[in-house]
Amino acid sequence: MLENILNLVGFLVGLAIGIMSFVGFRNTGSPTLFRLTIAFFSISIGFLVIWFGYMLEDYVIKSGNIDRGIQTLGIIIQTIGYFFIAFSHSIKALFPKSNYFRSVGILPFFLVSTVQLEHIFRSISFILLVYGAIETILSYRDNRNKGAVSVALGLGLLAFGEFLGWYSFVFPESILYSISMTIKIAGLVALFIPVSKVPLKKIKFDDDLDKI
Amino acid sequence: MAEYRTQMKIIGDILSTTRDDLQDEDGATVTYLIRKANISHSRISRILKTLVSQGLLEQADSQGSNRYKISQSGREFLQAYHSFSKFADNFGLNI
């Protein structure tokens, strides 16, 4: 039941940010906002697919475990979203210059030791999210935008949640998966806080400007 | 090091100039916009043509030269541009 609620919350928060991005894309035609639209709609749909899997299990299959195929499909869709967030930081995401980031880039080779598709995509998600968080916090040095700190924290929490979700296969029946989901939701909320401050309503123009 | 500007940022700079920083009520000349937006003549000509065709700028022939003023659509676009620039800034991105 908890998983149902958490996945539904994840779907709604991701959808809200996706709609914000889409409105921005419609208004400005910016390719960056288009990529963010795809990213957050993918993350949102991923949560929806997993929620659907849990609902199916709870009310139809009743086997005690979510269908592995549906869960994997949801995670793959979410990974596409994380890819577009990292990809928005351009080619730097693929070819980091510093030795430190190169060492971080090697991590997938250690993490994808299992052959299961779900674990592979969780590993990729983790790396993409960590990279996105690092890039975002580095941008704070340039623009001192406090919203960037919240977004970096959100991406970091999503990465940590993804890591715990991946690690929960060690303790399949434990509360670890629910903790992972809660952390991911907290991450999405942290992403949403600065985004929610963007005015979507029609903006009133200054009277002085109308005289120009 | 010079800051890299996206096409969108250049358009934002041009529209901001025509809204907030006009020489006079007739509008801004191409030369003035080149200086303010820091962009080459050939590039700004293409952008101005697009902005006029999209209805974001109004073109007027005054004192023997083309002058540009922001339209109502341009103001709305600029407002959206500023709002969503902040949105993208939060992600460490430029729109």
Any idea where the domains of chain A sit in the sequence? 2-198
So what's the pLDDT on residue A200?
57
> With bands split at pLDDT 50, 70 and 90, how would you rate the model's confidence at A15?
very high
Show residues of chain A in contact with B76, CB under 8 Å: 203
Which residue of B20, B90, B94, B95 to mutate against A (max A Cβ within 10 Å)?
A: B90
Q: How far apart are CA A182 and CA A189, in angstroms?
A: 11
> How distant, in Å, are the alpha carbons of A14, B4, B66 from that of B15?
32, 18, 16
Asked, for residue B95, whether it belongs to a domain, the answer is no
- Partner A contacted by B69 (CB < 8 A): yes
Burial B39-73 (b: 16+ CB within 10 A, else e): beeeebeebbeebbeeebbbeeeeeeeebbbbbee
Mean pLDDT is lowest, of A29-43, A149-163, B63-77, for B63-77
> How distant, in Å, are the alpha carbons of A125, B17, B19, B33 from that of B13?
37, 6, 10, 9
So what's the pLDDT on residue A186?
92
> Does the pLDDT at position A156 exceed 90?
yes
Tokens of B62: 């005054």
So what's the pLDDT on residue A42?
95
Q: Which of A31, A23, A41, A14 is nearest to A202 (CA)?
A: A23
Of these ranges, A34-48, A62-76, A169-183, the one predicted with the greatest mean pLDDT is A34-48
Measure CB to CB from residue A209 to each of B19, B93, B95 and give the nearest one.
Answer: B19
Average pLDDT of the segment spanning A122-139: 88
Starting at the earlier edge strand, list the strands of the sheet with B57-62. B28-29, B65-70, B57-62
Mean pLDDT is lowest, of A116-125, A199-208, B39-48, for A199-208
Q: How far apart are CA A134 and CA A157, in angstroms?
A: 12
So what's the pLDDT on residue A209?
37
Asked, for residue B15, whether it belongs to a domain, the answer is yes
Asked, for residue B1, whether it belongs to a domain, the answer is no
So what's the pLDDT on residue A93?
45
So what's the pLDDT on residue A90?
61
> Does the pLDDT at position A50 exceed 60?
yes
Tokens of B28: 């801004």
What is the average pLDDT value for chain A, to the nearest integer?
79
> Does the pLDDT at position A185 exceed 80?
yes
Asked, for residue B34, whether it belongs to a domain, the answer is yes
Q: Please give the distance of CA A58 from its chain centroid, rounded to a whole number.
A: 26
Question: How many domains does the structure of chain B reveal?
Answer: 1
Mean pLDDT is lowest, of A19-28, A200-209, B34-43, for A200-209
Please judge whether B22 and A212 are an interchain contact, meaning their C-beta atoms are less than 8 angstroms apart.
Answer: yes
Structural domain of B53: 7-88
So what's the pLDDT on residue A92?
45
Higher pLDDT, A89 or A189: A189
Asked, for residue B93, whether it belongs to a domain, the answer is no
Measure CB to CB from residue A212 to each of B19, B81, B92 and give the nearest one.
Answer: B19
DSSP code of residue A206: P
Q: How far apart are CA B51 and CA B14, in angstroms?
A: 10
Asked, for residue B73, whether it belongs to a domain, the answer is yes
* Positions of chain B with pLDDT lower than 70, given as ranges: 1-4, 23, 63
Q: How far apart are CA A36 and CA A22, in angstroms?
A: 8
Q: How far apart are CA A19 and CA A36, in angstroms?
A: 10
Q: How far apart are CA B80 and CA A143, in angstroms?
A: 20
> With bands split at pLDDT 50, 70 and 90, how would you rate the model's confidence at A114?
very low
Q: Chain A, 10-49: which have a CB under 8 Å from a chain B CB?
A: 20-21, 24, 27-30, 32-33, 36
- Partner B contacted by A131 (CB < 8 A): no
Q: Could you tell me the CATH number of the domain that includes residue B41?
A: 1.10.10.10
* pLDDT > 70 fraction of chain A, expressed in percent and rounded: 80
Mean pLDDT is lowest, of A61-70, A106-115, A119-128, B78-87, for A106-115
